[in-house]
Amino acid sequence: MEFDVHRTTALGRPALRVRGELDIATAPRLAEAVESQLSRQPQSLVVDLTDTTFLDSSGARTLVAAARRAAAAGVSLEVVCPRANRPVRLVIDLLDLRAVVPIVESPSLTENEVGP
C-alpha cells in the first residue's frame, strides 16, 4: 500500500488521514502536513491513523512531536487509532504513547460542536 496523507475534515475539524506505513521514510511527510495545518492556527486538529498499516519509532516520534507542537500552539490534537487497527495499536501501547499523545477510538465532539 502506498503512503498518503490526505487533508480532510472530521466532525467539521481539520483532519489528516494517514494511509499506509508510517515509518522512517514517510514520517517526514506527516510532519510536514501537520506543520502546514498548524500554521493555519486551527482550534483543533485530528490525525486519523485508521488506515495506517504500520508504525515504527520514527512515526511514533513524529506523533509525539505533533502533540507537543500542537500543545505549544494552543491547538487541541486528537490521534484516532481504533483498537481494531491492531498492528498500530500494539506499537502505541508498547511505547505508552497515550501518556503523551491523545489517542482516541474515533473523533470526539469539541465543546464548540456540542449543541445546547
The alpha carbon dihedral of 43, 103, 9, 88 has a sign of positive
What's the Cα-to-Cα distance from 64 to each of 37, 60, 103, 111, rounded to whole Å? Answer: 16, 6, 11, 24
Structural domain spans, the chain = 4-107
Q: Mind listing the pLDDT tens digit for each residue in 43-52?
A: 999 999 999 9
Using one digit for the tens of pLDDT, what is the confidence trace for 59-108?
A: 999 999 999 999 999 999 999 999 999 999 999 999 999 999 999 999 87
pTM for the whole structure: 0.90
**CATH class as words, domain 4-107:** alpha beta
Residue 51: all three cell numbers together: 488506515
